[in-house]
Structure 1
């Protein structure tokens, strides 16, 4: 059984735009009414009524609400579960029953979602943009060179990244490096080793990045995981 905290319900007005932001703990967003589009370095996903979106800890994303706005319930979940599952979205049929269950027993509600809901696919970006992002993640080549290898100008690549992922190429690269570092820290690796394997210039570079992202140093992050905080 998955333990969860009391749900938080929010109503967003039509046309609302939430700029890139993070949540300290893992949570699932359940769309009770309306719809919105979520943008992150993972891609774009359309979230209609009945959608559930699982966010790992510190996941950065932006939200754009359509002409009807949306009513959303957030279910806070254990960080370990979300790390294993990763960023995912599902669609359920019995939204009313699920909403009632979520108010009474969020843990049971998410068990039902994970067991029977249909996965929602990310909206596919242009092929060149996929190649561009893979290039950002896979090496430390200059962004200008990666863009040219994909047949576009650096300026066009940057505009498309902001439009598609709500992040410029530098932020996308930093985000994936930080995620890799968090995974390695969680696995118990030494910070110096983590900095090298995650692609940072050095350990101070990694420390600055993680502190700006999480508010904590690598040592504190690792200590908190060991103590279950």
Structure 2
């Protein structure tokens, strides 16, 4: 999906797991699809809205009628999640003239909902997001499943292995903490559960294409504002 604009997707189209650097809002105008991402797995229909945060990943499986999706810039203060709006077509008409105004329209009318799937892959995704240190094999045995089967089934549902999903959850938490961190990067790595600073740096660079020391420098510069 494009970060901004109208996307039309064919019947039974599949988009493999992918990542967007910038957050954005997806408004479903027609058709429907299943999205499995960092926030869980959802069946989306017209009038539903998905708020994607920066650096989040998801896959999409479109239904027999395909889907028409309006992608808008992220609204400040609108937290990632899923919800609904009453008049998605009005948002689409407004977006033809002014995408930012359409974003404001959606943000004002957005009503959060929680219609995520609740099968075991989704329970594991939620558990890994809440606790990246979760022992996957122990979790699987605790609900009576074979760990190897859990790994395969999770990868089919989410497009990533549980181990990959876990390291990405830990990496996003480190990224979220980075801008306000006042200690060393080594301390941040330890605080976020990485083996060491080098491990964290590799994970952040793999996700963003930029090492954490440069991201931190940009954050410091932004907080200071432009020079006069």
The normalised TM-score by structure 1 is 0.85
Which residue of 28, 34, 59 maps to 2:31?
Answer: 34
Give the superposition deviation at 1:188.
Answer: 2.9
Confirm whether residue 54 of structure 1 aligns to residue 51 of structure 2.
yes
Give the superposition deviation at 1:86.
Answer: 3.5
Report which structure shows greater RCO (CA 8 Å, sep ≥6). Answer: 1
Aligned ranges 1:85-100 → 2 under 5 Å: 85-100=78-93
Give the superposition deviation at 1:93.
Answer: 2.1
Say how many residue pairs are matched. Answer: 220
RMSD: 2.5
Helix, strand or coil: the match of 1:152? coil
**1:129 to 1:24, Cα distance in 2 relative to 1, 3 A:** closer
Confirm whether residue 158 of structure 1 aligns to residue 151 of structure 2.
yes
The normalised TM-score by structure 2 is 0.85
Helix, strand or coil: the match of 2:160? coil
In 2: Cα distance, 1:129 partner to 1:111 partner: 31
In 2: Cα distance, 1:133 partner to 1:48 partner: 22
**1:7 to 1:41, Cα distance in 2 relative to 1, 3 A:** closer
Gaps of 5+ in 2: 224-228
Per-residue deviation, residues 33-59 of structure 1 (Å, max 9, x unmatched): 211111013211122112221111111
Kindly indicate whether the alpha-carbon contact (under 8 Å) linking 1:36 and 1:46 is maintained by their aligned counterparts in 2: yes
**1:192 to 1:217, Cα distance in 2 relative to 1, 3 A:** same
Provide the residue aligned with 1:174 in structure 2: 167
Kindly indicate whether the alpha-carbon contact (under 8 Å) linking 1:135 and 1:146 is maintained by their aligned counterparts in 2: no
Give the superposition deviation at 1:139.
Answer: 5.9
In 2: Cα distance, 1:128 partner to 1:31 partner: 24
Gaps of 5+ in 1: 1-5
**1:85 to 1:156, Cα distance in 2 relative to 1, 3 A:** farther
Give the superposition deviation at 1:111.
Answer: 2.2
In 2: Cα distance, 1:73 partner to 1:161 partner: 29
Give the superposition deviation at 1:173.
Answer: 0.9
